[in-house]
Amino acid sequence: MTFPVVGIIGGGQLARMAHQAAIPLGIRTRLLADTPQDSASLVVNDVVLGDYRDLDTLRRFAAGCEVVTFDHEHVPLDHLRTLQAEGVAVRPDPDALMYAQDKGLMRARLDALGVPCPRHRLVADPADVAAFAAEGPEGWPVVLKTTRGGYDGKGVWVVRNEAEAAEPFRAGVPVLAEEKVDFVRELAADVVRSPHGQAVAYPVVESLQKNGICHEVTAPAPDLGADLAAEAQALALRIAGELDITGHLAVELFETRDGRILVNELAMRPHNSGHWSIDGAVTSQFENHLRAVLDLPLGDPRPRARWTVMVNVLGGDYPDMYHAYLHCMARDPGLRVHMYGKDVKPGRKVGHVTVFGDDLDDVRERARHAAAYLRGDITE
Ligand code: ADP
């Protein structure tokens, strides 16, 4: 058999890093991207430009691919089912992907599995949100989420009263209300599962979010009890199995003050919480995602160092990040830099840096310093 072509729908940085993982394996990637300037279009030579919502474009793209997988979760399920009926392998399966596309369906399925979640229900209008607040001990504020189409905190509102609850309903998409969890921190349990059922679990990580965007990930999550870590990994593996997910699954979690974990959401693709694994684990999330969708044996997910810290580089006011390399590289030869080839716009994820080692404070300081310097927040 010749080396397979893995089709990736979406041209963002996740596709770019998946391509990077494919190179040493000799696996070829084909991209369905919006523009030649997309992060992954800049590095993949087999690019189909077109609209992932158009069935004929998807057909043209999928022809000759061993398997089709994703950089984002927004492809219409009906189109994916049609491709499957025409013989295309789609991983994860649309029957699993639907739970990542729709937060209402996801909550209902997790409830049915008995998975602990924040108190929640679908709400019809601002008065219904007020009723929801009155139904539980937490009251206001309430978290409102559009069930579809959100990412990086877009589509999430924290509202303090009925008047503030009007905005989320304007899009005309069903709205999910959730108690605002008073969490100690956010965690992620990342696992990878292949079609024949092999699965691996990465160490549970701590993720620090600001304004709904992931800023920093520490692997493994510091001071997480062995029992809670094992419980989170077992929960993620169980969800992957029950939903028959293939490829990478990120289970975003809240750790509560009384030592429980609640599921925030599921992502069925490589995820920001796993970027540390490129430098910090024996096998990265991207390589294991590729192995899984091809039904190859999975690689060792264990960390290479005691601590790994990943900090996202967000666009600041200073567009010339290359200029900052001189300082960052001279200061820290152990620094790992990953840039996505994207234009610098304020707040946009344009890259990440990773540092690993034995001393958590040192590793964290170095990663934070480099990210802040690249962004232009500090000058020495
Ligand atoms: P997205 O799909 O845009 O990533 P999430 O559902 O993950 O949205 O929410 C983004 C962030 O908002 C979370 O990482 C968390 O910080 C906060 N958040 C979401 N739901 C809740 C909740 N029920 N209670 C408290 N904070 C929440």
User: What pLDDT digit, counting tens, does each position of 355-364 carry?
Assistant: 999 999 999 9
The residues of the chain that CATH labels 3.30.1490.20 are 119-179
At residue 1, the pLDDT reads: 66
Atom 13 in ligand 1: residue holding the nearest Cα:
212
Give the dihedral sign, CA 272/75/301/264.
positive
Ligand 1 mean position to 212 CA, how many Å? 6
From 123, 138, 156, 157, mutation site for ligand 1 pocket: most ligand atoms within 8 A of C-beta: 156
The reported pTM is 0.97
Which amino acid, residue 63? A
Nearest ligand 1 atom to the CA of 152 is 3
Residue whose CA lies nearest to ligand 1 atom number 9: 153
Cα–Cα dist 303/15, whole Å:
23
Alpha helices in 332-359 (DSSP H): none
Domain spanning 119-179 has what CATH number?
3.30.1490.20
**Residue 281, SS3?**
strand
Any atom of ligand 1 within 6 Å of the Cβ of 153? yes
Closest CA to 103 of 175, 167, 53: 175
Quick: pLDDT tens for 200-235.
999 999 999 998 889 999 999 999 999 999 999 999
What CA–CA distances, in Å, run from 254 to 115, 195, 200?
13, 29, 21
Residue 120 main-chain phi, psi, to 5 deg: -160, 160
> 95 CB less than 6 Å from ligand 1?
no
Give percent of the chain above pLDDT 70: 100
* CATH architecture of the domain with residue range 5-90: 3-Layer(aba) Sandwich (3.40)
Residues of the chain with CATH 3.30.470.20: 183-375
Both tokens of 309, joined, read 């810290």
141 Cβ closer than 6 Å to some ligand 1 atom: no
Q: What is the pLDDT of residue 318?
A: 80
State the Cα angle at 34 between 85 and 46, rounded to 5°: 70
- What is the mean pLDDT, run by run of 10 residues, along the chain of 380 residues? 94 98 98 98 98 98 98 97 98 98 98 98 97 96 92 87 95 94 97 96 97 94 97 98 98 96 97 98 98 98 98 88 96 98 92 98 98 91
Residue 208 CB–ligand 1 contact under 6 Å? no
Q: Is the CB of residue 3 below 6 angstroms from any atom belonging to ligand 1?
A: no
Using a 6 Å cutoff on CB, does residue 195 contact ligand 1?
Answer: no
Q: Which atom of ligand 1 is nearest to the CA of 180?
A: 24
CATH 3.40.50.20 maps onto the chain at: 5-90
Distance (Å) from CA 143 to ligand 1 centroid: 8
> Separation of 307 CA from ligand 1 center, angstroms?
26
Domain topology for 183-375: D-amino Acid Aminotransferase; Chain A, domain 1 (3.30.470)
Ligand 1 site-directed mutation target among 145, 148, 181, 264, most atoms within 8 Å of CB: 264
Nearest CA to ligand 1 atom 12: 212
Long-range Cβ contacts of 336-340 (<8 Å, 24+ apart): 336/278, 336/279, 337/370, 337/374, 338/17, 338/275, 338/278, 339/313, 340/12, 340/13, 340/16, 340/39
